[in-house]
Amino acid sequence: MSDQNPVFIPGPTNIPESIRKACDMPTLDHRSPVFQTILTPALDGVKKVLKAENAEVVIFPSSGTGGWEAAISNTLSAGDKVLAAQQGMFSQKWIDMCERHGLDMIVHEVEWGEACPVEKYAETLQADTDHTIKAVLVTHNETATGVLSDVAAVRRALDDANHPALLYVDGVSSIGSMDFRFDEWKVDLGIAGSQKGFMLPAGLSIVAVSKKALATMEQATLPRYYFDIPDMIANLAAGGYPYTPVVGMLNGLAKSCEMLLDEGLDNVFARHHRIAEGVRLAVKAWGLELCAVRPEIYSDSVTAIVVPEGFDGAELVSHAAIKYGVSFGGGLGKVAGKVFRIGHLGSMTDAMALLGLATAEMAMVDLGYPVKLGSGVAAAQEYYRSNA
């Protein structure tokens, strides 16, 4: 019965029963007017969650990686300069994608566990007086390391330099779980996926597009077809898709947005922060360290925990899955084997988090970690009791 246990991976996340039921629907003619009763609430709901009332929103049948590709292929041309930071596995993957598209990358490498280097970005943008940099990439929440970056500060760096580059933000593991302000931060392309804060299965890539970004698309020459944003916008405006949509998933997305907005976005973000704080206190009680190097960049959606010297994080994740039927996230890339990750985003409560912490403790004690059974759970319990 291990499939009855919640997962504690950073995505796909746990699916609430009401969303699962919304996705489970009979075949519907997506060319009929009935489809618009699903599509319109989904698009409107996403705009509210992203705080992107002035943006166009497109939803592709793909994972978040498709959203990355849509963002760059619709707005850039081969040889264009792009500013990015390599700070974890997912920021690195986006850089790799840009390089494969023939883009000229300016990459600031930082320690895995650090945030986007805003000061280095600012220096680079100030020095680019000819405005050769066309795009600036920011991974809002680096899922591999549990690190949150300051998108608003990057926007200020662009504005202070009076630089016209487009601002692209990967919000796949932050949107719907932590505050994201597309309009206020003047993001040009914001990317989310269905399987994280939206609490759906993987399969939808959500891209919010500014008017400024739209204006660049006629000049962009990178090839695109499936991920053509102007085509998608034109079809969505007419109540349809340029190809077959995932109707059940879109119905689930409408339900997800309804749930998030009914809870209230500020309450959603406060819930995620509270749960994350309990997890972080548990880690401290275990005597372990976080991969994120400073409290101001701690993620509220995923915590990456450094395992002690001589231990293997991958072994811990495997042991918890086999013996207890509970899934945690393993380390990726440079931190493979060095960390394990507890995802606490989406459909998550204090009580669910305690289950994950208790299981992690049992698995660590089983493997001989210097951890006292019950110590982390007790620390989190005390915090949740006092901050419910």
How far does Cα 249 stand from its chain's mean position? Answer: 18
Are 117 and 157 within 8 A, CB to CB?
A: no
Q: Which two tokens stand for residue 127?
A: 């020095």
d(CA 340, CA 371): 15
Cα-flanking dihedrals φ and ψ of residue 329, to 5°? -90, 140
d(CA 77, CA 183): 25
Are 148 and 180 within 8 A, CB to CB?
A: no
Residue 351 has a pLDDT of 97
End-to-end CA distance of the chain: 30
d(CA 216, CA 210): 10
**Domain span(s) for CATH 3.40.640.10 in the chain:** 17-262
Of residues 53, 94, 65, 97, the one with CA closest to residue 226: 65
Q: Tell me which CATH code domain 17-262 carries.
A: 3.40.640.10
SS3 at position 20: helix
Per-residue pLDDT tens, the chain, 388 aa: give them: 567 899 999 999 999 999 999 999 999 999 999 999 999 999 999 999 999 999 999 999 999 999 999 999 999 999 999 999 999 999 999 999 999 999 999 999 999 999 999 999 999 999 999 999 999 999 999 999 999 999 999 999 999 999 999 999 999 999 999 999 999 999 999 999 999 999 999 999 999 999 999 999 999 999 999 999 999 999 999 989 999 999 999 999 999 999 999 999 999 999 999 999 999 999 999 999 999 999 999 999 999 999 999 999 999 999 999 999 999 999 999 999 999 999 999 999 999 999 999 999 999 999 999 999 999 999 999 999 999 8
Residue 2 has a pLDDT of 64
Cα-flanking dihedrals φ and ψ of residue 14, to 5°? -65, 140
Residue matched to tokens 């796949």: 172
User: What CATH number matches the domain at 2-12+265-386, 1.10.10.60, 3.90.1150.10, 3.30.2320.80, 3.40.50.1820?
Assistant: 3.90.1150.10
Angle at 215 between CA 211 and CA 219, to 5 degrees: 155
d(CA 119, CA 386): 38
Task: HSE, CB side, 13 Å, CA atoms: give it for residue 342.
Answer: 29
Question: Residue 117 carries which side chain, given as an amino acid letter?
Answer: P
Q: Which two tokens stand for residue 338?
A: 């060095």
SS3 at position 165: coil
Question: Residue 234 carries which side chain, given as an amino acid letter?
Answer: A
**Domain span(s) for CATH 3.90.1150.10 in the chain:** 2-12+265-386
